[in-house]
Amino acid sequence: MWVDSHCHLHICEHETSLAGVIGRAEAAGLLALITLGTDVASSRRAVALAHDLNAVYAGVGVHPNDADTWSDEAAKGIEAMLVDDRVVAVGETGLDFYRDEVPAELQRAAFAAQIEMSKRYNKALVIHTRNSVAEVLDMLGSQGAPERLVFHCWSGDDAALRRALTLGSHISFAGNVSFRSAHDLRAAAGLVPGDRLLVETDSPYLAPEPRRGRANEPAYVVHVGRAVADARDAQTEVIARSTTDNAVSLFGLPAAG
C-alpha cells in the first residue's frame, strides 16, 4: 500500500481521464491520495473530487504563486471548506521566490494566515518552498508551527532539514529524488527519521524515472518510493509501509483494513 501525499487532480483532469488515473492508482496499490488546491476555485474542485472519488482526500489553500488572489473573501472561502470531513490539510501554501510575479509581502500575508488556519482547524499544513526555505522556517519559528505540518517536494540543505525536523515537520520527497543528478536529495532522504518520511508525485509535474518527461500521475508514487528505498538502503516494502503509516497519522486518514 502507498499514499500519494501530494498531487493536483484538478490539473491532471485537463490532460487525461481521471477515471483512468484513479484506476491506475488503485492497480498500483494506493490506499489514498491527497489532491491539493492552489486557489479558492481549485480548492473547491479538490473537495468535490474528494467526495466523488474513493480514496481521494483534499487539501485547500492558496499557493504562493496565487497569493495575489488572497483577500478576506478568499480566506472565508478556504475556512468554509476546512469544516468538511474530506478536507485533511491546509495548502498548498508557503513562499516561492524563484518566480517574482507575486510580491513577497503578499505571499507572506497569505502564508501567515494559512498557518493560523492550520492551527485553528487542526489540519495538517502543506508547505511549498522554492528559494525560500530559510524564510519559511523563520516564519514558522516566530509565528509558531502547527502541530502537524509537511514540507512537500523537499529541496533544502542539511541545516534546513534539521530545522524542519526540530519543528516537528514531516518531509515529503517527489519524483525528482529519482533523477540521476539528485545526489543531495537522495542524501536527504537517507537522513529523515523513518516516522517523518512521506512520498508524493506532485502530479502532473515531476514524473520520476523511468517516466521522466511524461505527464506524472499518482500511480507513479511507487517509483518515488523505490528511489527513496534505494537512498535509505531499505526494502521498498518497508518504505511503503512506513510512509503509508505516516500519511495516515499526519492527515488523519482511515487505516488500511
| Beta pairing class for 87-96 and 170-173 | unpaired
Closest CA relative to residue 43, chosen from 34, 53, 30: 34
CB 89 within 8 A of CB 126: yes
pLDDT in tens, 165-176: 999 999 999 999
pLDDT in tens, 122-144: 999 999 999 999 999 999 999 99
Q: Give pLDDT, residue 19.
A: 92
Distances (CA, A) of 78 to 90, 105, 106: 9, 20, 17
Q: Give pLDDT, residue 16.
A: 73
Q: Give pLDDT, residue 9.
A: 97
Distance CA 181, CA 115 (A): 33
Torsional sign, CA 94, 98, 102, 105: positive
Q: Give pLDDT, residue 255.
A: 79
Q: Give pLDDT, residue 257.
A: 54
pLDDT in tens, 61-100: 999 999 999 999 999 999 999 999 999 999 999 999 998 8
- 2-251: CATH topology: TIM Barrel (3.20.20)
Q: Give pLDDT, residue 17.
A: 86
Q: Euclidean distance between the first and final Cα of the chain, in Å?
A: 11
Q: Give pLDDT, residue 87.
A: 99
Q: What is the mean pLDDT of each run of 10 residues along the chain (257 residues)?
A: 98 85 96 98 98 97 98 99 98 95 97 99 98 98 98 98 98 98 98 99 97 94 98 98 99 83
Q: Give pLDDT, residue 111.
A: 99
Q: Taking all residues of the chain, what is their mean pLDDT, rounded to a whole number?
A: 97
pTM, entire model: 0.97
**Taking the domains of the chain in order of start, what are their residue ranges?**
2-251
Q: Give pLDDT, residue 256.
A: 66
